[in-house]
Amino acid sequence: MATKTVKDEKTADVPAEKNSAKVKTSSVSRYTVDELSKAENEFNANNVIIRTALSRADKDLFTLEEAKEIVSKFKNKEVK
């Protein structure tokens, strides 16, 4: 599965006047709806459920944990 990586928490040197300060950033993999919909086994759901749940979120990229939470809530939502 192809990933789009966003740096959030790695240590990087940032020059200051006399001292060097360190800023925290990290590499967190984020995936598109298309990429996540192919991982049916990971979510224990079919690709239609995954696509529908994620398309209702106002985001284009998701971490695996975010996507699992969104899909789980969608699957357990009460049907009226």
**Higher local confidence (pLDDT), 23 or 73:** 73
pLDDT at residue 27, as a whole number = 84
Judge whether residue 10 has pLDDT over 60.
no
Taking CA 15 as the corner, what is the angle to CA 14 and CA 16, rounded to the nearest 5 degrees? 115
Residue 51 has what pLDDT? 96
Helical pair 47-55 and 64-75, crossing angle rounded to 10 deg: 100
pLDDT average, residue stretch 66-74: 96
Q: What is the pLDDT of residues 21-68, one digit of tens each?
A: 555 556 889 999 999 999 999 999 999 999 999 999 989 999 999 999
pLDDT higher than threshold 80 for residue 8: no
Q: How far, in Å, are 7, 11, 17, 45 from residue 22 at the CA level?
A: 15, 6, 13, 42
